[in-house]
Amino acid sequence: MQSVAGGQVADRRQIFDNQAFYRALSATRVARDMTWKEVADEASVSASTLTRMAQDSRPDADGLAALSAWSGLNPADFVYGAKAGSAESMAEITKVLRKDSRLDPEDATVLEEIVRAAYQRMLKKNAGS
């Protein structure tokens, strides 16, 4: 057991959301129209590191650092409890959509509305549980 921010105690293996990081890494790969082999080469990690990540194994510190540098993803954003509240989540989504040069402002607004509606629905569903 390890202590984490806010005085909570959690199993150290469960603090970093490896699968969410891998999905975000995959989204970056797709956006750049690259294969996993190309990612491995460009990020200077072994292809087996990426294969293990796909199978829910966490990369070593050097692999995580290299993939973070390559993708621009911040591993701290994938730590459970690092972000709190829906306002911050939606603000991040809005910011990302607005920065995407492939989307015109109207399309970004439509996507934001879709995500906001789905997010609100899930919050209500989870509040009722």
In this structure, what DSSP letter does residue 2 have? Answer: E
> DSSP secondary structure string, 49-83?
HHHHHHTTPPPPHHHHHHHHHHH---GGGGBTTSS
Residues 32 and 70 in one domain: yes
Can you tell me the distance from the alpha carbon of 91 to that of 3, in angstroms, rounded to the nearest whole number? 29
pLDDT of residue 113: 92
The pLDDT tens digits for 32-61 are 999 999 999 999 999 999 999 999 898 999
Q: Write the single-letter amino acid at 80.
A: Y
Residues 42 and 74 in one domain: yes
pLDDT of residue 81: 67
Range of the domain at 106: 86-127
Can you tell me the distance from the alpha carbon of 31 to that of 93, in angstroms, rounded to the nearest whole number? 16
pLDDT of residue 71: 94
Domain final residue pick, 78, 104, 119: 78
Residue 8 has pLDDT above 80, yes or no: no
Residues 90 and 67 in one domain: no
Environment class of 21 (CB within 10 Å of its CB; exposed 0-12, middle 13-18, buried 19+): buried
Residues 14 and 64 in one domain: yes
In this structure, what DSSP letter does residue 84 have? Answer: -
Alpha-carbon distances, residue 38 vs 17, 29, 67 (angstroms): 24, 9, 12
Residues 50 and 102 in one domain: no
- How many domains are there within the chain? 2
Is 0.85 topped by the overall pTM?
no
